[in-house]
Structure 1
Amino acid sequence: MTDLPLPRDLEAPVGELVLELAGHLGERATVDLCVELLEGADRNDHPDAMPYLTGVVFDETSPKFYPSQWKDYWVRTWGARGLLYVWHDSAATAVVAGLDDEHWRPAEMCLKVSTKRELGEAGPRAAVLAVEGELPRVRVQALRTLGAVGDTEHVDVVRSLLEDEEAQVRRQAARSLSQLARRLDLDVALD
């Protein structure tokens, strides 16, 4: 990796930091870096890039130094989050694979990327996460993904979550069912 300067403003929103990184490396190289991290690359292999993806300097002398407190799933999450701001279709396979991450944070971030980038291939795994996700926030994001990219085979899954025990999941199921109906030109009742 090239020696990168520190970001102009570590307090800037992550989206701005990622775009600044892309200004240094190029968009495709930044996408490739995000994919590497999503796939489990060691953060120590990319110390100059990490401040752009986290807003934190990976230097023990910095007052914003925390890497020993962060588990590896954060690195995968940061890689996925970067793909919200830079994109190339070559990243789609890694994002869909990230839906199977053992930790909920990278999986949830991959759902967000799948929604934003309209990755239809995320539909089957999003349907599983909508039903089996341990946390309501993961189920809600899976429903958002299904609303954006789901197909007719996902309608029953979304409809079943209209009865979820969590109000936020029920509300998102109703929104996603309406979105599916509009997008796919279906006559779907919100039972």
Structure 2
Amino acid sequence: MGSSDRPLPRTLVDRACARWGRPAVVDGCRRLLLGESPDRAGLVDLVRMLGAPLADHELARDPESYWFRTWAARGLLWSWHDDALPELRTALTDDHWRVREMAAKVAARHRLDDLLEPLDALRVDPNARVRAAAARAVDRIVAADP
């Protein structure tokens, strides 16, 4: 636990997987990454789990919040399946920098060499955090190649 006794993101994802099963969590994250509304898609409980403790605030404030896509990408950071590759590729071109940054972190963690081209393009992103995450992802993926 962190200094504020809030669960770490990995713990939240582990709890979601224990509650609904890993395939359902991955599927929910994929759908959220594509911009499905948590209310209309029946994913409010998943958003609450992944985005604790801020989820209820965001759900009330903005039903289309970029945070839902960010938390979905973070969910895939800790519970990856290759079926999510198309949605992660889409997330690398998201309008919001936090989503692009988290998608690059997922690609780095799981060494997703299928995403080298869009990651390389992000190394000139307008946002410095996205550029840094993309550069780390490319370096990690290339270093892992035999």
Superposition CA RMSD, Å: 2.1
Instruction: Provide TM-score, normalisation by structure 1.
Output: 0.66
Q: How far, CA to CA, are the matches of 1:81 and 1:91 in structure 2?
A: 12
Gaps of 5+ in 2: none
* TM superposition shift of 1:50: 1.8
Gaps of 5+ in 1: 1-9, 60-64, 151-179, 186-191
User: What does the per-residue CA deviation read over 1:70-109, in whole Å, with 9 as the maximum and x for residues that have no partner?
Assistant: 5521111111110011111111121112111122111111
Task: State the number of aligned residues.
Answer: 139
Structure whose alpha-carbon radius of gyration is higher: 1
Partner of 1:171: none
* TM superposition shift of 1:114: 0.4
Partner of 1:43: 38
* 2:47 partner amino acid: M
Counting only pairs closer than 5 Å after superposition, residues 108-147 of structure 1 correspond to structure 2 as: 108-131=101-124, 133-147=125-139
User: What does the per-residue CA deviation read over 1:125-164, in whole Å, with 9 as the maximum and x for residues that have no partner?
Assistant: 1111102x112111111100110124xxxxxxxxxxxxxx
Inter-CA distance 58–94: structure 2 relative to 1 (3 Å threshold): closer
Residue 45 of structure 2 aligns to a residue whose secondary structure is coil
Q: How far, CA to CA, are the matches of 1:18 and 1:127 in structure 2?
A: 28
Q: How far, CA to CA, are the matches of 2:88 and 2:96 in structure 1?
A: 14
Question: Which protein has greater RCO, CA pairs closer than 8 Å, 6+ apart?
Answer: 2
Find 1:52's aligned residue among 49, 56, 78: 49
- Deviating beyond 6 angstroms after TM superposition, the runs of 4 or more aligned structure 1 residues are none
Q: How far, CA to CA, are the matches of 2:96 and 2:54 in structure 1?
A: 24
* 1:47 partner amino acid: V
* 2:119 partner amino acid: A
Residue 44 of structure 2 aligns to a residue whose secondary structure is coil
Residue 78 of structure 2 aligns to a residue whose secondary structure is coil
On the 8 A contact 1:18/1:53 being kept in 2, the answer is: yes
Instruction: Provide TM-score, normalisation by structure 2.
Output: 0.85
